[in-house]
Chain A
Amino acid sequence: ELKVEQNPLFLSMQEGKNYTIYCNYSTTSDRLYWYRQDPGKSLESLFVLLSNGAVKQEGRLMASLDTKARLSTLHITAAVHDLSATYFCAGAGADGLTFGKGTHLIIQP
């Protein structure tokens, strides 16, 4: 059974700072996904990571995958207030996705 753990679960940071969210998973996963969720909204797909060493970047967000360590990271560069949201990683099992508990990110001006 695939298990996904994120840390930290809560993060408050100031604009302009850098930080990394970590996602560990327990067994082999075909793919690793990162989603963003704003309060009261559904999930918005950010990244799909396909293979070991994959790195994807979009704006101030960069995601990477290390399948040997069973670790994915989401790095935030020079954070801005608009990035405040909850971020989920999810592993792809046999059928549905298995999500972490999410990282609630607050970026203060």
Chain B
Amino acid sequence: GAGVSQTPSNKVTEKGKYVELRCDPISGHTALYWYRQSLGQGPEFLIYFQGTGAADDSGLPNDRFFAVRPEGSVSTLKIQRTERGDSAVYLCASSQGSSSYNEQFFGPGTRLTVL
């Protein structure tokens, strides 16, 4: 079956621009997670959805970052007024439920480069 997919795979933008990153979770998975991985580091948690609602957005670095999941499936991570420090790989993961007992499956990531 299809895994988690993310588009685009690569995004290059200029400082100050707005970007949207998309995640398609595994069908039927109710929980969806966004992580950010900087070069040479482990992924860092950004936000987690259970269904349509953001259950925990404590990892979002500031108010330039926002994510939605309006129909409980596809999610979009939105970054306003991008900065060079936002350059990273943004990973999406989904799981069958929200419990930590449910294994998270990761997508291939979107590599964002802010010039």
Contact = CB atoms under 8 A, between A and B. Distances in A.
Interface residues of A, number: 23
A35 B109 CA distance: 15
Interface stretch (A14-22, A58-66, A72-80, A87-95): A87-95
Interface residues of B, number: 25
B12 to A, nearest CB: 16
Interface string A77-109: 000000000001010111111111110000000
Given A99-B43, A101-B42, A93 B100 contact: yes
A88 B42 contact: yes
A96 B59 contact: yes
A54 interface: no
Interface hub of B35, B45, B46, B108 (most chain A Cβ within 10 A): B45
A94 B44 contact: no
B36 to A, nearest CB: 11
The B contact surface, by secondary structure, is loop
Contacts of A92: 100-101
A30 B100 contact: yes
Interface string A18-54: 0000000000001101010000011101001000000
A56 to B, nearest CB: 13
B41 A102 contact: yes
A100 B45 CA distance: 12
18 contacts: A4-B42, A30-B100, A30-B101, A31-B101, A35-B106, A42-B108, A42-B109, A45-B105, A88-B43, A94-B100, A95-B33, A95-B48, A96-B33, A96-B46, A96-B48, A98-B45, A101-B41, A102-B41
